[in-house]
A = this chain, B = another copy of it.
Amino acid sequence: MGIVVDINKDREGGQKPSIDALQRLVGEDLQRVNQHILTNMQSPVALIPQLASHLIAAGGKRLRPMLTLASANLCGYTGTRHIGLSACVEFIHTATLLHDDVVDESELRRGQESANAVWGNQASVLVGDFLFSRAFQLMVADGSLQVLKILSDASAIIAEGEVLQLMTANDPQASEEAYLEVIRSKTATLFAAASRVGAVVADRPNIQEEALESFGMNLGIAFQLIDDVLDYSAKQAQLGKTVGDDFREGKVTLPVILAWRRGSEEERDFWRRTIERLDQTEDDIETAIGLMTKHRSLNDTVERARHYAAIAKDSLGIFPDGDMKAAMLEVVDFCVERAY
């Protein structure tokens, strides 16, 4: 597991892009979002805040609500509606994580025991349902049918994407297009909706809403592509996360698809055994990474991510330059460069 993705040679010198500038710019708002989340995950049924706080308090980067805050700010919004709606976005995200972990039978999430491992699948399903309902209650309190449409449409597409992923699971012959359709639905759609909502509260012209939606969508695709690379990367191990979770679950991500397409029949037998039939030994993950390295399938997945990252950045072209725009552009680079 000591193989490091090696495309550093392509990168320009200088500072590594980070999420820090954005975190600084939306920091105060994000604290209010966190407060809003804590207040609204309360329930007289004690298990709900217990389980929800396990996941929500555990943190994560809060990337999705930050997108709503950043978009609103980029559009010059000065009100408070973006706070509650950012909390909605995070609730929807948390609900899908809870259900994902049940579906994937995950035992770890963000380096901690997953909620389903601690409280069981039953509680994870039901608390997910609660958070999802609570998200809609918060949207209703906000009162915008336009926002409700964006986020209910997104929720339906996310669920469709998850079902699609289930149907195409364990098939290393899946096409790159089918894979893209899955990650567009299950990941990028919420990034897109979160970003668009920021423009909606600011009451901006449609062209700006669409620009921010495109920003979120393409950023989300790049983000997921890199996530899928990280699962096979030594960088992941450095971050204290386990390597090869996707492999052990037989998840077909782009690195596998490319290795299959570029591989020999003998190599395909390896993928059939390990991914399709889930007949794996301890050493198979090393072999998998070896094949991916041989065929440059990790590197080229990063290249694919760069493509979407470039589109995300160009979509902000219609906004005037400034600190917020610079921070949002840097986040795109961060999402790609975290592969290294």
Contacts and interface: CB of A to CB of B under 8 A. Distances in A.
Interface string A98-116: 0100110000000000000
Interface of A: 43-48, 96, 99, 102-103, 121-123, 125-127, 129-130, 132-134, 136-137, 139-140, 143, 145, 148-149, 152-153, 155-156, 158-160, 162-164, 166-167
Contacts of A121: 102-103, 121
Nearest to A149: B140
B159 A129 contact: yes
Nearest to A160: B45
Given A47-B166, A126-B163, A133-B155, 9 more contacts: A48-B160, A99-B125, A99-B129, A102-B102, A126-B166, A129-B155, A133-B152, A137-B149, A148-B148
A102 B125 contact: yes
A133 B193 CA distance: 14
Given A149-B140, A153-B137, A164-B45, A129 B126 contact: no
Given A125-B103, A126-B103, A132-B129, A137 B162 contact: no
Contacts of A125: 99, 102-103, 125
A167 B123 CA distance: 9
A118 to B, nearest CB: 14
Given A140-B145, A140-B152, A160-B130, A166 B122 contact: yes
15 contacts: A44-B160, A45-B160, A47-B166, A48-B163, A96-B129, A102-B125, A121-B121, A126-B166, A127-B159, A132-B155, A133-B152, A133-B159, A137-B156, A140-B152, A143-B145
B126 A43 contact: no
A47 B159 CA distance: 12
A41 to B, nearest CB: 11
Contacts of A149: 137, 140
Contacts of A102: 102, 121-122, 125
A44 B157 CA distance: 11
A162 B124 CA distance: 11
User: Looking at A126, A127, A164, which has the most chain B CB atoms within 10 Å of its CB?
Assistant: A126
A96 B129 CA distance: 9
